[in-house]
Amino acid sequence: MTPTNTMPNKLLVTFKLDQLGEPREYRPAPDRVIEGDIVCRSWDVDSAKDGKVRAGVFESTPGVNRSIKGGTWEFCLILSGVAEITEDGQPPVTYRAGDCFIMKPGYTGTWRTLETVRKVWVTA
């Protein structure tokens, strides 16, 4: 994957949300889809040389799927849309444009996209 907004040797990277280029389009793994015909789009904006920290933009159409972070830490900022995220064993939380949250390593739950969601993400 080639990040869309990086230039060699720059230490300040701007998310040019109107110039993301062509996304990588995919669907969640069938065993994770609970409801709907979910289509996801992802734009990689930048990554550390070792790949351990990455950042980009993600979009998902409505539906419900299992969300499993494994060993990954993820920060999210919702740019548009509405999602209801439910950590296993916890009550659901609704996120809208302007809201941000962190999913820590080991997180498992469901992600219900109520209106197509676009978010900025950073993983480590």
Domain ranges of the chain: 24-123
Kindly report, residue by residue over 72-103, the tens digit of the pLDDT: 999 999 999 999 999 999 999 999 999 999 99
With beta carbons less than 8 A apart as the criterion, state whether 86 and 93 touch: yes
Q: Which residue in 23, 21, 5 sits closest to 13, CA to CA?
A: 5
Give the sign of the dihedral formed by CA 124, CA 30, CA 65, CA 120. Answer: positive
The least confident of 3-17, 42-56, 59-73, 86-100 is: 3-17
- pTM of the complete model: 0.88
The residues, ordered by sequence, that sit 6+ positions from 36 with a Cβ below 8 Å of its Cβ are: 61, 62, 63, 64, 113
Q: How many CB atoms lie within 10 A of CB 84?
A: 14
Q: Dump the DSSP string for 55-120.
A: EEEEEE-SEEEEEE-TT--EEEEEEEEEEEEEETTS--EEEETT-EEEE-TT-EEEEEEEEEEEEE
Chain centre to alpha carbon of residue 55: 9
Kindly report, residue by residue over 7-34, the tens digit of the pLDDT: 556 789 999 999 999 999 999 999 999 9
Third-level CATH fold of 24-123 = Jelly Rolls (2.60.120)
